[in-house]
Amino acid sequence: MLGCGDWLTRRLDRRAVVRHTARLALAAPLAAVLAACGGGGTGGGSSPVASPVASRDTRAPRRGGSVRVALTGEPPNLDLHQTTDSIVLLVTGHIYETLFTWDDRYEPIPLLAESHEVSDDGRRIQVRLRQGVPFHNGEEMRAPDVIASIERWGRIVGLGQGLLRVTEQLSAPDPYTVEFRLSEPFGTFTTALSRALQGCAIYPKSVLDRSSDTHLAEFVGTGPYRFVEWQPDRHILVTRFDDYAALPGEPRGYGGHKAQYLDEIAFIPVPDEAARVAGLRAGTYHYLETISTDHYPTLRDDPNVAVDLLRPDSWLNVVLNLKSPITGNHTIRRAIQLALDHEPIMQAAFGEGFYELTPTLLPGADAWYSEAGAEHFNPRRPEEAKRLLQEAGYDGSPLRFLTTQEIQQEYNATVVIKQQLEQVGFTIDLQVYDGATLSDRRDDPAAWEAYTALASFRPDPVLRNLTCKATGWWCTPEKDELLARLQTESDFKTRVEIWHQVQQRFYEEVPRLKIGDSRRILVRSPKLQGIGPTELQPELANAWLEG
Amino acid sequence: MIAYVLRRVLLLLPIMLVAGSVTFALLHVIPGDPAAVMLGPEATPEQVAALRERLGLDEPLLAQYPRWLSRLARLDLGTSIFLDKPVTAAIRERIVPTLQLTLYALLIAVAVGIPAGVVAALHQDRLLDRALMLFAISGTAIADFFLAILLILLFSVTLRWLPSGGYTPFSDHPLQHLASMTLPALALGLSLAGLPARLVRATLLDVLREDFIRTAAAKGLMRETIAVQHALRNALLPAVTVLGYALGDLLGGAVVVETVFGLPGMGQLVVNSIARRDFPVIQGVVMVFAAIYLLTNLLVDVLYVYLDPRVRYAGR
Amino acid sequence: MPVGRAGAVARPKLRSRPSGWRATYAPDQRRSWLRLLLASRVAVLALAFLIGLAALSALAPLLAPADPELVNPAVRLRGPSPEHWLGTDDLGRDVLSRLLYGGRISLLVGAAVTLVAVVLGAALGLLAGYWSWLDGPIMRVLDGIMAFPGVLLAIAIVVSLGPGLGSVIIALALVYTPVVARLIRSTTLVIKQMPYVEAARCIGLPHRVILWRYVLANSVSPLIVQATFIVAYAILAEASLSFLGASGNPEAATWGAMLRDGQRLVSRAWWLALAPGTVLFLTVFALNLVGDVLRDALDPRAHERREDAPVQ
């Protein structure tokens, strides 16, 4: 009970409450969940809606112990700059740190930086670094390390390229200050440097000197846990970094104080889903990276497991290929939009109670919630879709729909979408591949018309890849102009305004279809307490194991 | 004898070449790009192209094949794209869990199969015989990935006796090692136990009819004693032989079992390498698997000649 | 389960000892195999089960209560009920209907793999056994294929050819072809030396006739035994392939693919694994029984010693 109230007040600001009421109308399942929460009943660790935040602070933390985390597979590498596969975050989030990070309301706060100053014209930014922050290899973090890291990141990552493009000079006036001289203002400076996935991790210059843009020589950072060893298919081991320069005070989202209660964290790849679930129930693992919500009833009833139901923070979308002669046609894309009924799609993918239907493109990021274009969201007008198809002169040539069974939610959704589209007259060629073939196919504009993708939480729209380069190739000058302004603009209200316009265009031009928001479950051993925010990656730096 | 073995060893070379070339050809028609897999779903084409270049993936096939051959002649299997280390080193790390798994599985198969076969033969045509033989076939008839999860549910989740997965090296902690290997070995071994059980039973029945056994029985020895002392020795030969040939199957089964139990063995290495398109590793593992299989078969054949004087390899 | 080539290979290997059945092999055995099979009660039961299963699968369009591919997410993961006797899967599809239709595909995979492997393997085995100059090259290539762990070879082929039932069949057929070829080669080598074959050659019968009428005709019995085991192993191997992510069309799933899906949710929805797991198990079990009984019936020694059959 207390947990529930706590969850409501801490998670929902006033705007969000209003919005949630609106959402309730759209999504009965949430209502059921909230009602269950209000009604109490279960309580304790196995309460269906005990947020991780609420489960914190129940007992005094204990120092020590080794936590085993089951991963869905092997991370491709541990170079945060390099890979866009979000599985690495779980590991790297504890090894590396960035200049800025996110607080619990997903606003950027300094982490390795102490502060930053922007000149009045916005074209000179000075970042003051914290002093006495050691790397795992014993070196102290200083401006040259930061500059080398930013330069490498700026060569590899799209967002970094955007920043470096407007950077005329990057220099170090003193060992603890980094100065950017920009050709034009870059309003999302701290957002860009807070980015988690493909984030600007600060590596020691000595390591970068031995590395290249495609290869990182050593996994050294400033984070609370130190990389020990990586035995592929067995484990990745990190241990407490005793010289860690912890910030004083309380934890704040991904920033603030990190207590490092755990001695050691082992990340173990367990590719088989059933074995992952069984392993958690058997006590072999303390935490699962991610697990299908289909397992919720089993895990909820198991006293050896604690399940937390999270707020919806990811979204399912259908990416359309705008370079294809079929889906390049706007009328046909509109027909697809009108043909779909999102409710069964989300049911098939996530199960009853684990989704919401909202038009926002940034679920979980309350500040960016938008209803723009909502009239085009889930319109369910198959008759009109049929008419549009005729109007467009659709000749029945097959729509090649790519999917993989490796991500069950995407596959399930795709099968339902296929049947719905067939009902309005589309011919669907469902092509099921393994992950590697799929990503290969997606890069070829001539090979497909559509695929379904699950997109994870993003705290800021510039982190949502809707550029012309992204697969699907949504290229309209007006939209690209808006996205560019979103990057350079610093005034929050103006940015929200711009974002509404982007979302409006998203629904009108139909480059993709947003299907719905999905909830995740956080499953852990009841002994594992104090897990921090989990939207980007689970923060274990303040977690502890009860004896 | 020596000439025979020498000739067999020489014959291995063209076979290995066939296996290697088939894999090589197969790998180059597999769609998918290791660079793209490493960089994840949102990598830019430029990023992928840069990585491809560093990894040397852009070379044409015709240039790669002769180089692969010449390296193979020097037992150099190349460098893993993903693991960033020589393939031989990767295999050396992974071969131990797989060998342990197959060894334990073989032990279980023998420990379960041979007594079952003996008991069945001694109770020929009675209920116990039928039950044991049905059990033996059951092992071969169940899908091993399903057997594996059932074992986990019983021994890990319900009884909480054994870990559900993971691997501890023997040198780190012998007891934990055995605990972590018990379920995988059971999953693999039980599916194999039917083979020796059926063989031992059939051969034992044959042998029990032989004259020397009748003589022993006439001398007043117990049937059980005869079976164990005389007949079993004669019956073991075919059982051991078959298990030797079964090694290829064991390695194949290890692939599935390692995946369910998350063991860092050769099976997972090759399955994951196929998923990641780590071509040098796939190629290397196939060569090693083929070599193991062929050498074991050779060993079994030689052993056969040695143990069964009736067999003479004249021709072939 | 392992792909099962050892089980299949080991038997002829074992029996091919010089003192084994091969030498005493007589051409008049082949007429009696059906009679012998029917003499065993267990074998009759197993055979009846297999025929019944094939019939149920063949009649699936008439028997299935629902369209096996029609999704209905609103009723997903429901347990057995009067509307859905075997419950529904995670897309709300009727498990019973999928089981019936899946039987068609599973049995088709088993049959097609066996057919291709037997035809290809028998041809290669005959060539290798009959003409000694072809023996070396053919057997080296087959040994090379044999040296791959079967599952790996099959995954690699399926991934290269692209997913689909055809790829799975081709891949598994290739895995079992060497098994059949080895068997036929060894019988050919023996039969070639038989007086009646030499007589046929003396009167100038063409090779093609000798191969067909004498050599192949006399290899039919061991081939049938072998084929029975290959069907069983192929059905199971397809399940393993599904599990490892190399499967055919997942919408029209095989029993193996259904079991894979069931395994994923085994603690949540037991009925998903139970139904395909049981039929898969029973089918392979029955095929093994039939194979065992056939093999022993065809082994001349078994005439004197009925007890050689593991299960009567």
Structure-token pair, residue C117: 């492997």
Phi, psi of A542 (to 5 degrees): -115, 10
Residue A501 and residue A352 in one domain? yes
Instruction: State pLDDT tens for residues C42-52.
Output: 888 999 999 99
Chain A contact present for C267, CB below 8 A: yes
Q: What's the CA gap between B180 and A279, in Å, rounded? A: 12
Instruction: State pLDDT tens for residues C65-85.
Output: 999 999 999 999 999 999 899
Closest residue in chain B to residue C5, using alpha carbons only: B249
Closest residue in chain B to residue A74, using alpha carbons only: B272
DSSP summary character for residue C88? B
What CATH number corresponds to the domain at position A239?
A: 3.40.190.10
Distance from the Cα of C18 to chain B's closest Cα (Å) equals 7
Asked if B310 contacts B234 with a C-beta cutoff of 8 angstroms, the reply is no
Residue written as token pair 């990182």: A216
Closest residue in chain C to residue B312, using alpha carbons only: C18
Phi, psi of C207 (to 5 degrees): -55, -40
Which chains are within 8 Å of B by 3+ CB pairs?
A, C
Q: What's the CA gap between A527 and A517, in Å, rounded? A: 30
Closest residue in chain A to residue B53, using alpha carbons only: A214
Distance from the Cα of A345 to chain C's closest Cα (Å) equals 7
Closest residue in chain C to residue B10, using alpha carbons only: C140
Which chain B residues have a beta carbon less than 8 Å from that of C285? Answer: 137-138, 141
Chain C contact present for A439, CB below 8 A: no
Tell me which CATH code domain B95-314 carries. 1.10.3720.10
Q: What's the CA gap between B5 and C173, in Å, rounded? A: 31
Cβ contact A233–B264 (<8 Å): yes
| Structural domain span for residue A152 | 96-211
Asked if B114 contacts B197 with a C-beta cutoff of 8 angstroms, the reply is yes
Residue A370 and residue A278 in one domain? no
Interchain CB contacts (distance < 8 Å): B and C: 203
Cβ contact A275–B260 (<8 Å): yes
Residue A276 and residue A362 in one domain? no
Nearest to B48, CA basis, from A413, C212, A444: A444
Residue A283 and residue A427 in one domain? no
**Tens digit of pLDDT per residue, chain B (316 long)?**
688 788 888 888 888 888 888 888 888 788 888 888 888 877 777 788 888 887 777 777 777 788 888 888 888 888 888 888 899 999 998 999 999 999 999 899 888 988 888 888 888 878 888 888 888 888 888 888 999 999 999 999 999 999 998 899 999 999 999 999 999 999 999 888 888 888 888 777 777 777 777 777 777 767 677 767 666 776 666 666 666 667 777 877 888 899 999 999 998 998 889 888 888 898 898 888 888 888 887 887 777 666 665 555 544 3
Angle at A306 between CA A305 and CA A312, to 5 degrees: 130
Which helix (H) or strand (E) segment holds residue A10: the answer is helix A2-11
With respect to residue A34, please indicate whether it lies within any of the assigned structural domains: no
With respect to residue A22, please indicate whether it lies within any of the assigned structural domains: no
Task: Provide the 3-class DSSP secondary structure of residue C112.
Answer: helix
Distance from the Cα of C259 to chain A's closest Cα (Å) equals 12
Closest residue in chain A to residue B162, using alpha carbons only: A282
Parts of chain B belonging to CATH 1.10.3720.10: 95-314
Q: Which of C156, C236, C311 sits opposite B133 (nearest CB)?
A: C311
Distance from the Cα of B181 to chain A's closest Cα (Å) equals 14
Distance from the Cα of B28 to chain A's closest Cα (Å) equals 13
Which chain A residues have a beta carbon less than 8 Å from that of C75? Answer: none
Distance from the Cα of C239 to chain B's closest Cα (Å) equals 7
Query: Following CA atoms A335, A339, A343, A346 in sequence, which dihedral angle do they give, to the nearest 10 degrees?
Result: -60
Chain A contact present for C160, CB below 8 A: no
Residue written as token pair 């010089």: C18
Q: What's the CA gap between C291 and A123, in Å, rounded? A: 82
Cβ contact C152–B289 (<8 Å): yes
Cβ contact C71–A348 (<8 Å): yes
Chain A contact present for C143, CB below 8 A: no
CA distances from C171 to A346, C15, C114, C238, C245 (A): 36, 28, 12, 10, 14
What CATH number corresponds to the domain at position A434?
A: 3.10.105.10
Residue A369 and residue A505 in one domain? yes
Q: Which of B36, B164, B167 sits opposite A278 (nearest CB)?
A: B164
Distance from the Cα of A275 to chain C's closest Cα (Å) equals 8
Structure-token pair, residue A389: 């198809």
Instruction: State pLDDT tens for residues C116-131.
Output: 999 999 999 999 988 8
Residue written as token pair 């790009």: B33
Asked if B201 contacts B224 with a C-beta cutoff of 8 angstroms, the reply is no
Please compute, for residue C129, the number of CA atoms within 13 A of its CA located in the half-sphere on the CB side. Answer: 25
Q: What's the pLDDT score for residue A58? A: 56
Q: Which of B36, B48, B164 sits opposite A282 (nearest CB)?
A: B164
Residue type, B140: T
Residue type, A382: P
Q: Which residues contact A142 (CB under 8 A, 6 or more apart)?
A: A129, A172, A175, A176
Q: Which residues contact B136 (CB under 8 A, 6 or more apart)?
A: B113, B116, B117, B193, B194, B197, B198, C310
Structural domains counted in chain A: 3
Nearest to A20, CA basis, from A473, A456, A366: A366
Asked if B310 contacts C18 with a C-beta cutoff of 8 angstroms, the reply is yes
Residue ranges of alpha helices (H) inside chain C are 5-15, 33-39, 41-58, 60-63, 95-130, 132-146, 150-161, 165-192, 195-202, 207-209, 217-243, 255-264, 270-298, 301-304
Share of chain C above pLDDT 70, in %: 84
Q: What's the pLDDT score for residue B137? A: 84
Which chain B residues have a beta carbon less than 8 Å from that of A74? Answer: 272
Query: Following CA atoms B154, B156, B162, B168 in sequence, which dihedral angle do they give, to the nearest 10 degrees?
Result: 130
With respect to residue A47, please indicate whether it lies within any of the assigned structural domains: no
Distance from the Cα of C267 to chain A's closest Cα (Å) equals 7
Q: How many CB atoms lie within 10 A of CB A336?
A: 24
Task: Provide the 3-class DSSP secondary structure of residue A172.
Answer: strand
CA distances from A287 to A95, A96, A532, B55 (A): 18, 21, 13, 35
Which chain A residues have a beta carbon less than 8 Å from that of C264? Answer: 273-274, 408
Best to test chain A binding among C267, C270, C272 (most A CBs inside 10 Å): C267
Nearest to C213, CA basis, from C201, C202, C225, C224: C201
Structure-token pair, residue A511: 């480059």
Residue A91 and residue A109 in one domain? no
Instruction: State pLDDT tens for residues C128-180.
Output: 988 889 988 898 888 888 887 788 888 888 888 888 889 999 999 999 999 89
**What is the per-residue DSSP string for A361-401?**
SSTT-GGG---TTGGGSS---HHHHHHHHHHTT-----EEE
Which chain A residues have a beta carbon less than 8 Å from that of B160? Answer: 282-283
Question: Taking the domains of chain C in order of start, what are their residue ranges?
Answer: 46-65+99-297
Distance from the Cα of B40 to chain A's closest Cα (Å) equals 4
For all residues of chain C together, what is the average pLDDT?
A: 81
Q: What's the CA gap between C294 and C32, in Å, rounded? A: 10
Which chain A residues have a beta carbon less than 8 Å from that of B50? Answer: 213-214
Task: Provide the 3-class DSSP secondary structure of residue A198.
Answer: coil
Asked if B256 contacts B267 with a C-beta cutoff of 8 angstroms, the reply is yes
This prediction has a pTM of: 0.87
Q: Which of B261, B264, B269 sits opposite A275 (nearest CB)?
A: B261
Which chain B residues have a beta carbon less than 8 Å from that of C256? Answer: 143
Structure-token pair, residue C240: 């393993």
Q: What's the CA gap between B202 and A119, in Å, rounded? A: 91
Asked if A304 contacts A524 with a C-beta cutoff of 8 angstroms, the reply is no
CA distances from A7 to A11, A34, A37, B26 (A): 6, 11, 10, 55
Closest residue in chain C to residue A295, using alpha carbons only: C268
Cβ contact A434–C71 (<8 Å): no
Structure-token pair, residue A295: 């397992």
Nearest to C160, CA basis, from C146, C170, C173: C170
Residue A186 and residue A263 in one domain? no
Task: Provide the 3-class DSSP secondary structure of residue A110.
Answer: strand
Residue A325 and residue A406 in one domain? yes
Residue A283 and residue A411 in one domain? no
DSSP summary character for residue A141? P
Cβ contact C264–A274 (<8 Å): yes
Closest residue in chain C to residue A271, using alpha carbons only: C244
Cβ contact A86–B40 (<8 Å): yes
Task: Provide the 3-class DSSP secondary structure of residue A257.
Answer: coil
**What is the per-residue DSSP string for chain B?**
-HHHHHHHHHHHHHHHHHHHHHHHHHHTT----HHHHHH-TT--HHHHHHHHHHHTTTS-HHHHHHHHHHHHHTT---B-TTT-SBHHHHHHHHHHHHHHHHHHHHHHHHHHHHHHHHHHHHTTTSHHHHHHHHHHHHHHHS-HHHHHHHHIIIIIIIS--S-SS----TTT-HHHHHHHHHHHHHHHHHHHHHHHHHHHHHHHHHHHTSHHHHHHHHTT--HHHHIIIIIHHHHHHHHHHHHHHTHHHHHHHHHHHHHHHT--SHHHHHHHHHHHT-HHHHHHHHHHHHHHHHHHHHHHHHHHHHH-TT------
Which helix (H) or strand (E) segment holds residue A314: the answer is strand A314-320
What CATH number corresponds to the domain at position A105?
A: 3.90.76.10
Distance from the Cα of C163 to chain A's closest Cα (Å) equals 7
CATH number of this structure's domain C46-65+99-297, picked from the four choices 1.10.1060.10, 1.10.10.10, 1.10.357.10, 1.10.3720.10: 1.10.3720.10
Which chain C residues have a beta carbon less than 8 Å from that of B136? Answer: 310
Q: What's the CA gap between B252 and C175, in Å, rounded? A: 12
Asked if B230 contacts B212 with a C-beta cutoff of 8 angstroms, the reply is yes
Nearest to A402, CA basis, from A446, A451, A447: A451
Which chain C residues have a beta carbon less than 8 Å from that of A351? Answer: 76-77
Which chains are within 8 Å of A by 3+ CB pairs?
B, C
Which chain A residues have a beta carbon less than 8 Å from that of C71? Answer: 344, 348, 415-416, 419
Cβ contact C70–A274 (<8 Å): no
Domain end, chosen from A156, A185, A211, is at: A211
Q: Which of A85, A215, A469 sits opposite B41 (nearest CB)?
A: A85
Angle at A458 between CA A121 and CA A479, to 5 degrees: 60
Strand-pair partners of A516:
A316
Best to test chain B binding among C42, C106, C143 (most B CBs inside 10 Å): C143
Which helix (H) or strand (E) segment holds residue A411: the answer is helix A408-423
With respect to residue A6, please indicate whether it lies within any of the assigned structural domains: no
Residue A527 and residue A478 in one domain? no
Q: Which of C3, C147, C162 sits opposite B19 (nearest CB)?
A: C147
Which chain C residues have a beta carbon less than 8 Å from that of A294? Answer: 77, 90, 265, 268
Residue written as token pair 């420990």: B111
Q: What's the CA gap between A317 and A451, in Å, rounded? A: 8
Q: What's the pLDDT score for residue A6? A: 40
Q: What's the CA gap between C312 and C309, in Å, rounded? A: 6
Residue A356 and residue A388 in one domain? yes
Residues of chain A with pLDDT under 70: 1-59
Structure-token pair, residue C10: 């080991």
